[in-house]
């Protein structure tokens, strides 16, 4: 059984560093909010409710002010040293916090909260940028899943601990001392962290907050898919912040629950995101699986919509946790909340991984800093939206419906702008739900550099199966007639399929196809072709055409032969007549096992169509 990276020396120091930091933030923040609420601590003429809102603003403000600088600093200095310095800053802040709690000085406590936000703003880019430096390609998804799991569990533990400690005798000092000790433990973990040097030595840092913020946002916009992914993550924090803001009112007014039930809702949400993050990693099979993002967004919409339909719980008194569990309809609401949070994990982990792996290494921290700025902006927008909706007399169930509509519109926009997400979704469905895929020797496909992959051709969905199985993205060469198939032609366009025709059919299409193939290989990408040139009618391998020889003649790249076994007789094959028309075979072929096997790479000088055909026949045996 594969050992989790959580127990590996290269990862656990950063995991526990971020865990203790997130926990400390929430112990301090929640304790301060409760102290203000129950002891009526205010500044000037501000009301208690306004003071609580002020605390949220004081913590978020540094993300606007310092995230751009944090991104530039992280790209310019040793990440491991920056982690250590930020934790040292946390220890100093907690010492100030001890003085603030001891003297009941609200100005000092709010200053500490601001400094904690600043420390978190500087730690955020380091936390995510350091993962690709510590973990290899097969571990990065698991690393992100564990970080997301740890973050939400730390939020939960910190929030509960802050509430419990502040309620004890001499609670403020208990909170202060606990935060100080947790910060020391976090600092200890940083000394166990592997040294990670700067990725952009000698870069001049722009200390102008406005211009540097604009600069890093422009950097994040250079690649459309990265920027849209950042918007997708920011939308998640908008979505999550809205729900978390609604929980106290929702529980009190619609669930008739007490403070314990509010904590239960927070626990279900936090644990659900943690579980979803880990399940996402398991379903990803050690690769970035963008197909889970649409799955997660669909789940977010469906379960928040069901919260709207669930209505309220009828009760003639305030319910504690046990009484809430006994109330009719409570399990439906908790199920919706739990599934919604699990789907959040499916949604958020691939997006963070996508940003980390697609961003330029020398700009990665600044891209993540841009993400933090937009996250904070969206969370503030969430608060403003709720103020407007409440002013318009929206009920909380109606706000759930409104969020459902917004989430659906956001999803449509994202998947229209970046069709790669939907393409991966279809690939994931085929590879993981309709079929059972077994692979052998796919490590023969090089991790980088141009190459040609060949495969036998059994069904119309062969390319989707390969796209969902092979870790590296590939451009597929297909007959131009496929581009006219309804619905499927949109998938072909999104996948950047290269249309080709025979010399006697359309010389212009053929010439353009070879040009696109040459350009793709020169860019260091993989091209996948089906050398038979047509789908089999009898399950046997057709003769290989010489097109592959022309490709290799122009591009001296390795050729990796693949063979798919077990697809003949599936719904998409021609065994029962025209493909995808005999629906009676679906029950018999659903979850049928397919094996994809790779041969060793063939050197260009040894390549000819006949030899490649013989190798493929051998792989099919």
Which regions of the chain are under pLDDT 70?
1-2, 40, 49, 201-203, 486-488
pLDDT at 518: 95
* Integer Cα distance of 112 and 100 in angstroms: 8
State the DSSP string of 337-404: HHHHHHHHHHHHHHHHHHHHHHS-TTTHHHHHHHHHHHHHHHHHHHHHHHHHHHHTT--HHHHHHHHH
Nearest-angstrom CA–CA distance, 159 and 307: 24
Taking CA atoms, 432 is separated from 92, 486, 491, 589, in Å, by: 50, 24, 19, 14
Tokens of 398: 């109606």
CB 497 within 8 A of CB 476: yes
Q: Give pairs for 205-211: CB < 8 Å, separation 24+.
A: 205/69, 205/72, 205/73, 205/76, 206/68, 206/69, 206/72, 207/69, 209/65, 209/66, 209/68, 209/69
Contact 427, 291 (CB under 8 A): yes
What separation, in Å, do the N-terminal and C-terminal C-alpha atoms of the chain show? 30
Among 205, 171, 226, smallest CA distance to 66 is for 205
Q: Kindly tell me the number of DSSP H helices and DSSP E strands found in the chain.
A: 22, 7
SS3 571: coil
**Pair 598, 502: CB distance under 8 Å:** no
Q: How far apart are CA 512 and CA 502, in angstroms?
A: 12
DSSP notation for 280-339: HHHHHTSS--TTHHHHHHHHHHHHHHHHHHH-----SS-B-HHHHHHSTTHHHHHHHHHH
Pairing label, strands 474-479, 451-455: unpaired
pLDDT of residue 245: 85
The count of residues in the chain is 621
- Residue 338 in contact with residue 272, Cβ under 8 Å? yes
For residue 469, count other CB atoms closer than 10 A to its CB: 22
Tokens of 153: 């569990």
| Side-by-side strand order, sheet with 451-455 | 435-440, 592-598, 559-565, 451-455, 526-529, 474-479, 498-500
Location of structure tokens 């980390």? 356
Which domains does the chain possess?
1-197 (1.20.1250.20), 224-418 (1.20.1250.20), 429-620 (3.40.1130.10)
Backbone φ and ψ of 447, nearest 5°: -75, -20
CB atoms within 10 A of CB 207: 11
Q: Is 445 left (phi over 0), alpha (psi -120 to 50) or beta?
A: beta
Give the pLDDT confidence score for residue 108 in this predicted structure.
Answer: 94
With tokens 């880990």, the residue in question is 278
Predicted confidence at residue 562, as pLDDT, reads 97
Question: Dihedral sign, CA of 424, 428, 430, 436?
Answer: positive
Contact 421, 294 (CB under 8 A): yes
Taking the CA atoms of residue 258, residue 262, residue 268 and residue 273 in that order, the dihedral angle to the nearest 10 degrees is 180
Look at the block and give the residue holding tokens 């659903």.
590
CB atoms within 10 A of CB 170: 10
Is the CB of residue 576 less than 8 Å from the CB of residue 585? yes
- Distance CA(460)–CA(290), nearest Å, equals 22
Give yes or no for a contact between 247 and 262, defined as CB atoms under 8 angstroms apart.
yes
Which of 246-254's residues contact partners 24+ apart within 8 Å by CB, and which partners?
246/386, 246/396, 246/399, 249/396, 250/396, 253/312, 253/396, 254/311, 254/312, 254/313, 254/396, 254/397
Sign of CA dihedral 605, 616, 515, 505: positive
Report the DSSP pairing between strands 435-440 and 592-598.
Answer: parallel
Residue whose C-alpha is closest to residue 289's, from 462, 431, 122, 443: 431
Cα 423 to Cα 232, 291, 491: the distances in Å are 17, 7, 7
What would the pLDDT profile of 447-504 be if each residue is shown by its tens digit?
A: 889 999 999 999 989 999 999 899 888 999 998 887 877 666 777 777 789 999 988 8
pLDDT in tens, 272-321: 999 999 999 988 877 778 888 998 999 999 999 999 999 899 888 989 99
Residues 6+ apart with CB under 8 A from 373: 63, 64, 67, 68, 213, 216, 217
Q: State the pTM of this model.
A: 0.82
């Amino acid at each position: 059984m594969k050992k989790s990276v959580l127990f590996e020396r290269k990862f656990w120091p950063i995991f526990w560093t971020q865990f203790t930091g997130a926990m400390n933030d929430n112990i301090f923040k929640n304790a301060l909010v409760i102290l203000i609420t129950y002891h009526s601590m205010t500044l000037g003429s501000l009301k208690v409710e306004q003071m609580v809102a002020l605390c949220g603003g004081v913590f978020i403000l540094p993300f606007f002010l310092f995230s751009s600088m944090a991104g530039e600093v992280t790209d310019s200095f040793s990440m491991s040293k920056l982690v250590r310095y930020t934790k040292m800053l946390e220890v100093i802040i907690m010492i100030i916090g001890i003085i603030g709690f001891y003297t009941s000085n609200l100005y000092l406590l709010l200053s500490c909260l601001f400094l904690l936000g600043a420390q978190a703003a500087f730690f955020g880019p380091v936390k995510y940028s350091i993962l690709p430096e510590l973990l290899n390609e097969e571990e990065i998804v698991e690393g992100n899943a564990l970080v997301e799991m740890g973050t939400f569990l730390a939020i939960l533990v910190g929030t509960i601990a802050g509430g419990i400690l502040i309620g004890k005798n001499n609670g403020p000092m208990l909170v202060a001392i606990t935060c100080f000790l947790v910060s020391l433990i976090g600092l200890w973990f940083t000394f166990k962290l592997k040294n990670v040097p700067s990725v952009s030595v000698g870069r001049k840092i722009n200390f102008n907050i406005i211009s540097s913020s604009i600069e890093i946002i422009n950097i994040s916009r250079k690649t459309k898919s990265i920027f849209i992914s950042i918007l997708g993550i920011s939308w998640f924090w908008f979505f999550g912040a809205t729900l978390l803001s609604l929980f106290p009112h929702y529980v009190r007014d619609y669930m008739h629950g007490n403070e314990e039930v509010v904590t239960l809702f927070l626990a279900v949400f936090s644990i659900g995101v943690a579980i979803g993050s880990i399940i996402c990693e398991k379903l990803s099979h050690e690769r970035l699986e963008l197909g889970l993002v649409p799955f997660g967004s669909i789940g977010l919409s469906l379960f928040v919509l069901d919260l709207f339909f669930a209505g309220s719980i009828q009760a003639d008194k305030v319910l504690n946790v046990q009484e809430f569990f006994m109330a009719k309809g409570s399990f439906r609401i908790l199920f919706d909340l739990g599934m919604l949070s699990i789907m959040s994990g499916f949604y958020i982990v691939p997006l963070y991984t996508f940003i980390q792996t697609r961003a330029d290494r020398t700009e990665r921290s600044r891209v993540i800093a841009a993400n933090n700025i937009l996250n904070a902006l969206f969370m503030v927008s969430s608060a403003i939206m709720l103020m407007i909706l409440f002013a318009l007399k929206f009920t909380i169930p109606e706000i759930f419906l409104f969020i459902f509509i917004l989430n659906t519109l956001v999803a449509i926009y994202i998947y229209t702008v970046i069709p790669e997400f939907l393409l991966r979704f279809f690939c994931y469905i085929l590879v993981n739900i309709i079929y059972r895929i077994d692979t052998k020797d796919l490590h023969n496909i090089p991790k980088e550099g141009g190459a040609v992959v060949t495969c036998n051709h059994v069904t119309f969905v062969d390319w989707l199966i390969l796209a969902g199985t092979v870790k590296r993205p590939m451009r597929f060469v297909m007959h131009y007639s496929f581009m006219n198939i309804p619905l499927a032609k949109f998938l072909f366009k999104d996948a950047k399929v290269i249309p080709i025709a025979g010399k006697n059919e359309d010389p212009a299409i053929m010439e353009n196809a070879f040009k696109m193939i040459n350009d793709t290989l020169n860019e260091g990408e993989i091209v996948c072709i089906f050398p038979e040139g047509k789908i089999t009618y009898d399950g046997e391998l057709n003769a290989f055409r010489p097109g592959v020889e022309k490709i290799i003649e122009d591009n001296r790249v390795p050729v990796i032969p693949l063979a798919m076994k077990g697809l003949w007789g599936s719904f998409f094959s021609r065994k029962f007549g025209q493909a995808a028309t005999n629906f009676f075979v679906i029950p018999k072929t659903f979850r049928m096992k397919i094996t994809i096997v790779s041969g060793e790479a063939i050197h260009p000088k040894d390549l000819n169509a006949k030899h490649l055909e013989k190798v493929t026949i051998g792989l099919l045996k």
